[in-house]
Chains A and B, each alone.
Chain A
């Protein structure tokens, strides 16, 4: 047997939590290895194509659990490659949330003021920019006009998009062909590689064990076939002094639970308190004549809207219910959104249909008006009611298809609190869009794949209370010094806005603590690297040959 491969810091996953950690640790002088379960694609390899096997299924993960389905990234760059790049900061009241605990969910050390400097760093690095009405796509404009007419405000939402490069093609979920979306492939990851970090795609970590007597960790992975992710090509291990788990909210707790027999008892909160960010969708079918007559909108070619396909995901949101004086679970943002056909159409319900409403004759008639659909995205405060069951034999799901689709052990039953928030947001959307016959609106059905989220959170969360948090406020796994978690699973609860910037800010905030832990374990590493600089952030630093 050959000697075990060794590194200082092993990072599992290359999304926001992994990429930010890899950059800072590598820039500080540590040997960093990143194991990413998905492939490594760049702009030229992103396909504007719905065909199975194109980038839309290669880089995406869709796992169906019992009562909750999760959409997430599956590639180098993780969620940043497939997401819509909407990057607001979380409102101040979020950090004071109590959920069902009866006391503050967040660590005492974190509030909006203390997180703002970390938000600033990520905002500069990606960068995130303010959006302008003059370049706001039609669907955001329409949502704003409808909100305005109903007496509400509506904001263009900050985004990590270079609008000057954007073609408004709405293929963002397949990866941005034009590098207009400022994914991690354009900043933290190439900067990490420039500082010596190695990234290995198609390496799916299965579990972590301990190497005695050193106290180091041994990370066990499978290398997956690049087309059929159900096929394992080989397996291997790497030893590390520090392990950062950033495999994503729907994978991190499963890797840890699978490791429990080797590491010893884990905190109770690993795999519990999952939040779907209180997400919910309503689809409106607009009356084009009333869009023109009531809202005064015209594209300049005599068409009022018919622009559902045009744009760059969510660009405008009503924040009138982001109000700290409202009771918890009754606060939410309402954001206009695009989902491509397939994912974006299957669960929509024909507004005036009897059963069946989500398939069949009436649904087909609704599809004929797809260009006049406007989908509104609720992000509310759920009750952290999701729990992961025992991990599947490998990965985070029992894979059904070669790519993307699998069955997860996640169980979710919305509580009355969550249902109340959804009902209130449904009513708000209806009130705004059904006024004077502007549109007919109905929520997506939860009767097919349960609830759903594109922003899974909290399955391994930070907190001050060991009974209800898996991590301390430095993101270290309780009882297992040297293991850190920096992805969405660390966020204590739903944020009522898109969470990527908050996940990233928390990862930035965790870095000094990880550096200190690495130093204590004898790693020659310093903290203090600047924001990834332009010269180290070109997209060209990917190795020409994929590393298997």
Chain B
């Protein structure tokens, strides 16, 4: 992927997105991906593409957010008495559980700077759950890991969704005794 972000920022944001929807390591020495899942997560789904998509409005905030996140990770390490990490961005050096604990803290309702983190969470999620950086038909055709995981049904050949079978076709409960003639609450 072409990106104007520096490698540390990319790695930090990947580690964040991977905590939201975890995936498998792309290569043995992959540090951004914690590797707690057996198949593709938010990063493989395109989280970095979506975060940088001009329509999203987050791109300009990403370097600052990554820097802030690493600052919080450093504080977290100190607070927990963890040894300082190596040269990798501090958030990347955290385990999956510690990354998750820190994100819970950052997104907590009482954190005044929470909105930036919530935005990162939402876009990381959307990359996986709805592939919002891609046309849905193309994402499905390309085997997008998120839509595949959900089992999102493909469209008809014309690219539109229709479900010919959609109903159990029989009454399945008594209706409320006070229902009006037109089917309304009384």
Binding site for B on A (CB under 8 A): 48-54, 57, 64, 67, 88-92, 123, 130-131, 133-138, 141-142, 144-145, 147-148, 152-158, 167-171, 177, 230, 295, 297, 299-301, 306-307, 309-311, 316, 319-320, 322, 333, 340-342, 345-346, 355-356, 359-361, 363-364, 367-368, 370-371, 399-403, 405, 407, 447-450, 497
**Contact A52/B129 with A153-B176, A319-B185, A359-B121 known, Cβ cut-off 8 Å:** no
Which B residues are in CB contact (< 8 Å) with A49?
135-137
Measured between beta carbons, the chain B residues less than 8 angstroms from A368 are 149-151
Measured as residues with beta carbon below 8 angstroms from the partner, the interface class of chain B is 35 or more
- B74 interfacial by beta-carbon distance below 8 Å: no
Q: If A52-B53, A367-B149 touch, does A130 touch B183 (CB 8 Å cutoff)?
A: yes
A346 and B22 contact, Cβ closer than 8 Å, known pairs A91-B186, A370-B150? no
In chain B, positions 124-155 with a C-beta closer than 8 Å to chain A are 125-126, 128-137, 146-147, 149-153, 155
- Check B173 against A154 for contact (C-beta < 8 Å): yes
Question: Which residues on A sit within 8 Å (CB–CB) of B170?
Answer: 133-134, 141
11 additional A-B residue pairs with CB within 8 Å, beyond A300-B165, A370-B150: A48-B161, A67-B109, A90-B185, A131-B183, A142-B172, A177-B160, A342-B130, A346-B129, A355-B104, A356-B104, A400-B56
A133–B169 alpha-carbon span in the complex (Å): 6
Are B129 and A367 in touch, CB under 8 angstroms?
Answer: yes
B87 interfacial contact with A, CB 8 Å: no
B125 and A48 contacting across the interface, CB-CB below 8 Å: no
Question: Contacts A177-B160, A371-B151, A448-B118 hold; do A141 and B186 have CB atoms under 8 A apart?
Answer: no
Is residue B54 within 8 Å, beta carbon to beta carbon, of the partner chain?
yes
Q: Measured between alpha carbons, how far is A130 from B149 in the docked complex, in Å?
A: 36
A140–B50 alpha-carbon span in the complex (Å): 34
Contact status B136-A136, CB under 8 Å: no
Determine if B78 is an interface residue (Cβ-Cβ < 8 Å). Answer: no
Q: Does B48 contact A (CB under 8 A)?
A: no
**A156→B183 contact, CB < 8 A:** yes
Check A155–B109 contact: CB distance below 8 A.
Answer: no
A237 to B160, CA, bound (A): 41
Q: Chain B residues near A152: list those with CB within 8 A.
A: 173
Residues of B within 8 A of A64 (CB): 115, 118
Q: Pick the contact of B121: A155, A364, A448 (CB < 8 A).
A: A448
Note all chain A residues with C-beta closer than 8 A to B108: 447
Say how far B25's CB is from chain A's closest CB, in angstroms.
15
Complex: A450 Cα to B109 Cα, angstroms: 8
Q: Given A137-B167, A309-B152, A448-B118, are A50 and B130 neighbors across the interface (CB < 8 Å)?
A: yes
Interface contact A153-B167, CB-CB below 8 Å: no
Q: Is B80 an interface residue, CB under 8 A from the partner?
A: no
Distance A342 CA – B150 CA, assembled complex (angstroms): 11
Give every chain B residue within 8 A of A148 (Cβ-Cβ): 172-174
Q: How far is the CA of A133 from the CA of B166 in the complex (A)?
A: 11
Of the A-B pairs whose beta carbons lie under 8 Å apart in the complex, a sample of 25, sorted by A's number, is A48-B160, A51-B134, A52-B50, A52-B55, A89-B185, A91-B186, A130-B183, A137-B167, A141-B172, A154-B174, A154-B175, A155-B175, A168-B162, A168-B166, A169-B162, A295-B172, A319-B185, A341-B147, A342-B126, A355-B104, A360-B22, A367-B149, A367-B150, A370-B151, A402-B57
A346 & B122 in contact (Cβ 8 Å cutoff): yes
B137 CB, min distance to chain A CBs, angstroms: 7
The answer for the CA separation of A20 and B32 in the assembled complex, in Å, is 54
- Cα of A306 to Cα of B150 in the assembled complex, Å: 11
Kindly name the residue among A130, A316, A346, A407 whose own CB sees the greatest number of chain B CB atoms within 10 A. Answer: A346
Are B100 and A356 in contact, CB atoms less than 8 angstroms apart? yes
Give B residues with C-beta under 8 Å from A. 19-22, 36-37, 41, 50, 53-58, 96, 100-101, 103-104, 107-109, 115, 118-119, 121-122, 125-126, 128-137, 146-147, 149-153, 155, 159-163, 165-177, 179-180, 182-186
- CA of A483 to CA of B129, assembled, Å: 44
- Does the CB pair A48–B166 fall under 8 Å? no
Asked if A364 meets B168 with Cβ closer than 8 Å, knowing A168-B162, A169-B162, the reply is no
Nearest-CB distance from B144 to chain A (Å)?
10
CA distance A135 to B149 in the complex (A): 29
Q: Which among A88, A309, A310 is the interface contact of B184 at CB below 8 angstroms?
A: A88
Given A53-B55, A148-B173, check contact A136 B167 (CB 8 Å). Answer: yes
Q: Bound complex: CA of A405 vs CA of B130, how far in Å?
A: 16
Q: CA A158 – CA B181 in complex, angstroms?
A: 11
Q: State in angstroms the CA–CA spacing of A300 and B170 once bound together.
A: 13
Option from A301, A309, A359 in Cβ contact (under 8 Å) with B20: A359
Contact A364 B162 (CB under 8 A): no
Whether the Cβ atoms of B119 and A400 lie closer than 8 Å is yes
B150: chain A residues within 8 A (beta carbon): 341, 345, 367-368, 370-371
Residue in A141, A142, A152 with the greatest tally of chain B CB atoms within 10 Å: A141
Asked if residues B57 and A405 are in contact (CB atoms below 8 Å), the reply is yes
Sort A-B residue pairs by CB-CB distance and give the 9 closest, nearest first. Answer: A342-B130, A167-B162, A169-B161, A154-B173, A148-B173, A144-B173, A52-B55, A144-B172, A168-B166
Q: Which residues of A contact B50 (CB under 8 A)?
A: 52
| A153 and B133 contact, CB distance less than 8 A | no
B135's partner among A51, A340, A367, A449 (CB-CB below 8 A) is A51
Nearest-neighbor residue (CB-CB) of B181 within chain A: A130
Scoring B53, B137, B159, B174 by chain A CB atoms within 10 A of each residue's CB, the highest score goes to B174
Nearest-CB residue, chain A, relative to B124: A359
Nearest Cβ distance between residue A433 and chain B, in whole angstroms? 14
Do A320 and B176 form a contact, CB below 8 Å, given A133-B169, A402-B54? yes
* Residues in A whose Cβ lies below 8 Å from that of B104: 355-356
When distances are taken between beta carbons in the complex, the residues of chain A under 8 Å from B171 are 133, 144
Q: Which of A230, A333, A401 has the most CB of B within 10 A?
A: A401
Contact B115 A138 (CB under 8 A): no
Closest beta carbon of chain B to A139's beta carbon, Å: 9
Closest B residue, CB atoms, query A49: B136
Shortest beta-carbon distance from B142 to chain A in Å:
13
Of chain B, the residue at the smallest CB distance from A89 is B184
